[in-house]
Homo-oligomer: A and B are copies of this chain.
Amino acid sequence: MSETGATTILKEEVDIVIPTIRNLEFLEKWRAFFQPYHLIIVQDGDPSKVIKVPEGFDYELYNRNDINRILGSKSHCISFKDSACRCFGFLLSKKKYIFTIDDDCFVAKDPSGKEINALEQHLKNLLTPSTPFFFNTLYDPFREGTDFVRGYPFSLREGVPTAASHGLWLNIPDYDAPTQLVKPLERNTRYVDAVMTIPKGTLFPMCGMNLAFNRELIGPAMYFGLMGDGQPIGRYDDMWAGWCMKVISDHLGFGVKTGLPYVWHSKASNPFVNLKKEYKGIYWQEELIPFFQSVSLPKECTTAEKCYVELSKQVKAKLGKVDEYFNKLAENMVTWIEAWEELNPSSVPSKSDVLPNGSAK
């Protein structure tokens, strides 16, 4: 599809969600690409601080006071002083597609020197099917100039709906604290010109820096957990969301893509601070991955909400013994879904439930 086509059609169906603690000068660099879209800014930290947003952007901004006011007794499910608070924006949005980006990510250039419209590429990824059941060696078969290769079963070529599009980063790679400490100078300079579906049954480390998803299909699974202030870990918010989202997408028959688009990640976070946030996650993860690899959801779970509630039960039953934290997390997973259902009542038909002539299905 042409860039203009996708942009025009989808302008009203996309929200850009940005968690931040600072003035958003970085938006100046994105003006050409983001200005047509609506922004949801989630202020992470001291609500008395005033965040400046460059002129001309269409945005709403929520701080902790707003979160408490809007969610009331459920507000504890949203993390404080951690970018995990971004999922509050997912909850509030009424749009079909979400693009979320960190405020230290800038416009990257492709090898020809052209500035990359990251949102545009994410929409292309989300609007074309995924192929999770069989690997295509020439990568995304729906991309222009390529196709399914010889030996790809014809019955699988229709593909499945794409739930999420995971973009990458040039310059500072998304490394954990130990790797940052060992390789302080490593920079990602390799532009890999590919988009691919992560196969069914395979988990991956989902980074929240440059991520888009179909909120109608998978929004309720995009909970970024409990991190930051008062919690024993940080920097596992996006990982948690990614594991939950992937097993639920696999169960519901949706696809997850990774690869293009790149953003330019400008600065490495402090590895010592990161180590403190991560260290429990690093060893808990060794039990979390086998758990997620063996999760099985019953047939009755036909929506992301139902899957997520069922998953919370399995988290409690199987991870509660790893640490008390997971019991608390499991409870907050349920609170998150309650908040989701309150703010997104299913009685209001979503766009996709409405036929072209306006009558409900």
Contact = CB atoms under 8 A, between A and B. Distances in A.
A53 to B, nearest CB: 29
A235 to B, nearest CB: 7
Nearest to A278: B150
A203 to B, nearest CB: 6
B193 A192 contact: yes
A104 interface: no
A interface residue count range (under 10 / 10 to 19 / 20 to 34 / 35 or more): 35 or more
A151 interface: yes
A151 B242 contact: yes
Contacts of A136: 204-205
Interface in A150-177: 150-156, 166, 168, 173-176
A299 interface: no
B258 A137 contact: yes
| Copies of this chain in its oligomeric complex | 2
A322 interface: no
A200 B154 CA distance: 22
A271 to B, nearest CB: 11
Contact of A205 (B150, B168, B238, B278): B150
A147 B186 contact: yes
A199 B194 CA distance: 17
A239 interface: yes
Contacts of A289: 134, 153, 156
A350 to B, nearest CB: 30
Interface in A115-160: 134-139, 145-156
A188 interface: yes
A285 B201 contact: no
Given A191-B193, A193-B192, A205 B146 contact: no
Please classify the interface of chain A as helix (H, G, I), strand (E, B), loop, or mixed, using the class held by over half of its residues. loop
Interface string A177-208: 01100010011111111100011111111110
A138 B259 CA distance: 8
A99 interface: no
Contacts of A235: 150
Nearest to A206: B151
A209 to B, nearest CB: 10
B202 A148 contact: no
Interface string A45-70: 00000000000000000000000000
A137 B168 contact: yes
Contact of A151 (B151, B168, B186, B239): B239
A149 B137 contact: no
A155 B286 contact: yes
Contact of A176 (B137, B150, B174, B200): B150
6 tightest Cβ-Cβ pairs between the two chains A and B? A151-B205, A135-B204, A199-B202, A151-B239, A150-B176, A192-B194
18 contacts: A134-B202, A137-B166, A137-B168, A147-B175, A148-B179, A150-B176, A150-B235, A151-B239, A152-B176, A153-B285, A153-B286, A153-B289, A154-B285, A156-B289, A192-B192, A192-B194, A199-B199, A202-B202
